[in-house]
Amino acid sequence: MEVAQVLHMNGGVGDLSYATNSRLQSKVISMTMPIAEEAIVNLYCSTFPTTLTIADLGCSSGPNALMPVSQLIEALEKARRKLRKESIEYQVLLNDLPGNDFNTIFKSLPSFLERLKMKIGPDLGPCRVTGVPGSFYGRLFPTHSVHFIHSSYSLHWLSKVPEGLEENKRNIFMAETSPESVLKAYYDQFQKDFSLFLKCRAQELVGGGCMIFTLPGRKSQNPASRECSYTWDLLAVALNDMVSKGKIEVEKLESFNIPKYKPTPTEIEIEVAKEGSFVVDGIRVWDVSSNQFSNNALDGFKSSSDNVAKGIRAIAEPILASHFGDQIMDELFIKYGEIIADRKAKEKPSLVNVTVSLTKPK
């Protein structure tokens, strides 16, 4: 499976799209944005550049794609006006894998820019937005061309499915029944990918440039703990049910694994120190309720569980469909919603998020 070709969120704006089912991700962006705003304002005040380039990695599509950029520019403009500095010319670089629905983003750009100008006023400088398709586990931008990099809920995806997962029978991710070799394979792939990510971003950032990223992580030292594997364990239950009904071949299930890793803050710090290009300004750990998937605070278990299932479907359907086929997706996620409803009545899982602030020394 070529991850870069099949990993993307459901496009469009329909009922099963990522645009419609990304409330959790929107909540996380809102929670962590004060950290990013403080960092970018400090960066601006250190040199008062008249041109400033912001990159958002793993932007996806829908309202969340332009939300971080909008808030960062608003924070910068507030600081600029207070200090009575001249207008800033903005270059915004939106990155995701080639399968991302960039068309939906581009269609929304005129209204986005109009709203931004209405909020800030006529002295808002030029704001040019460019899509940059490609994997962030490689170079994306010219050397020393970017001032600020933001990423939310993207860096937990690996560049590839780790090698050596043949013994991860009937699981689709690290689980309690996974052998130690599987856990090591996932960690090794995370180390390779994250080190390469840091190296590439260090080459692209200007001296003194900043990078803020948030990703699902964990507090436990065990990468197969429930805080990491809960969502995917339940999806594995649904897939195994499809096997028992003859809808999926067992060989198909046993050859599928999710390419992602949820690191601890310490694992992140170790890789940053080993790579050596950045100073860690701060690391913060957040807990977010899985109920944030819901679009209605008054949802009951059934409705809330359906929203969770839709949220995971919006994220995982393309990669699942590429392996198992489109025809089973409706039945699979109906079953998945039923399993979540049963578990949510007994359990209240939370999602651990890690926000990291890095600076490249001048």
Residue 313 three-state SS: helix
C-alpha to C-alpha distance for 170 and 161, rounded to whole angstroms: 16
Percent of the chain with pLDDT over 90: 43
CA-wise closest residue to 210 among 334, 42, 34? 42
- The CB density around residue 37, as the number of other CB atoms within 10 Å, is 19
pLDDT at 15: 72
C-alpha to C-alpha distance for 63 and 101, rounded to whole angstroms: 12
Between the CA of residue 66 and those of 92, 117, 154, 304, what are the distances in Å?
A: 10, 14, 15, 26
Give, for 129, the enclosing helix (H) or strand (E): strand 127-133
pLDDT at 149: 97
- The CB density around residue 82, as the number of other CB atoms within 10 Å, is 9
Q: Tell me the sheet residues that pair with 148.
A: 54, 210
Residue range of the domain that includes 90: 3-360
* Residue showing tokens 């994306």: 140
Give, for 179, the enclosing helix (H) or strand (E): none
Q: Is the separation of the CB atoms in 301 and 341 below 8 Å?
A: yes
Phi-psi sector, 325: left (phi>0), alpha (psi -120 to 50), beta: left
pLDDT at 296: 42
| 177 residue type, one letter | T
**Tens digit of pLDDT for each residue in 127-180?**
999 999 999 999 999 999 999 999 998 899 999 889 988 888 888 888 888 889
DSSP, residue by residue, 77-88: HHHHHHHTPPPP
pLDDT at 68: 92
To the nearest 10 degrees (0 to 180), the angle between helices 301-324 and 329-344 is 140
Low-confidence ranges of the chain (pLDDT < 50): 292-303
pLDDT at 19: 64
pTM for this prediction: 0.88
C-alpha to C-alpha distance for 282 and 32, rounded to whole angstroms: 12
Q: Look at the chain and report how many structural domains it folds into.
A: 1
C-alpha triplet 257, 226, 154: angle, nearest 5° = 55
pLDDT at 260: 92
Domain CATH for 232 = 3.40.50.150
DSSP-assigned letter for residue 146: E
pLDDT at 206: 95
C-alpha to C-alpha distance for 329 and 51, rounded to whole angstroms: 46
pLDDT at 348: 64
pLDDT at 300: 40
Pairing state of beta strands 205-216 and 89-96? Answer: unpaired
pLDDT at 297: 38
C-alpha to C-alpha distance for 185 and 180, rounded to whole angstroms: 9
